[in-house]
Amino acid sequence: MIQHIHTPVRIRVGVGEMTCTVCGEVTNQAYCMRCNEEADVQGNNYAQVAAKRGRMVPTVSYLRDGEYEVVG
């Protein structure tokens, strides 16, 4: 009898990696550089805007245990 071996593809997530809920960009910054460029604002200011709008979420926050591996 052949056993089913579950080998999920693991997503590689950087330490402290954040995902933009608007465009899907991932970054280690507190703001999305892609949206930052489109909005044409400076990083620190945009970080505050992004935080208020809840655009950035930790990548691991929407992944299940075993779906990802943290890489340095």
CB of 60 to Zn ion, least distance (A): 18
Tokens 């950035």 -> residue = 56
CB of 67 to Zn ion, least distance (A): 22
Q: Which is nearer to Zn ion, 35 or 60 (CB)?
A: 35
CB of 41 to Zn ion, least distance (A): 13
The 10 Å CB-count burial string (b at 16+, else e) for 21-41 is eeeebebebebbeebbeeeeb
Binding interface with Zn ion (CB under 5 A):
20, 22-23, 25, 32, 34-35
Q: Which is nearer to Zn ion, 10 or 57 (CB)?
A: 57
Q: Secondary structure of 17-30 in the HEC alphabet? A: CEEECCCCCEECCC
